[in-house]
Amino acid sequence: MAAELDALLRAARRRIVCQTWARQLGEAVRIVLGLAVVLVGADRLWRLPFSPWPLVAVILLLAGGLAGLVAWRRRLGAQATAWVLDERLGLGERLSSAVAMRQSGYQGPLLEPVVGAAEREAAAIDLRVALPEPARGRLRQSVGLGLLLLTVALLPRQTFWRSRTDLATEVVT
């Protein structure tokens, strides 16, 4: 396969994997932050018998690792990557046709013009346009959940749910 097209497909594949990881990690962080708000809120209201912070930290680490694993496992081949670029840029399957012809071992008269056209297209493609970074709306959601968690964490523990015996025992110990 031609060098320009190969380089483009490798870079596009890396970008797709990174975008997948960022998207999965963002989802995981929002879920863990929501869970943390619930756990810390429950701790503030009912004084849980355990601290929620280690549990939140472990879940966050596991979720981040799982997001990375999902992104890493999503390995697109050259054909699938070329198809994604064709779809995003409206290239009418120019890149994916060239990749398919090369991978199939086709040696007919159409090989050179098809691969040449794909090379010219590959030289002109800007991956930042073809595969833009995701919108920042989800980042705002995560920041909002983080601020809510901070607010809940700073609230004092409530005593109106506990009996006087529990409160007296707490003061003594």
Q: Contact, 7 vs 119, CB < 8 A?
A: no
Q: Which tens digits make up the pLDDT trace of 43-73?
A: 888 888 888 889 888 988 898 888 888 888 8
The alpha carbons of the chain give a radius of gyration, in whole angstroms, of 26
Domain-by-domain residue ranges, the chain?
3-172
Per-residue pLDDT tens over the stretch 134-150: 766 677 777 888 888 88
Predicted model pTM: 0.70
Give dist(CA 82, CA 76) in Å, integer: 10
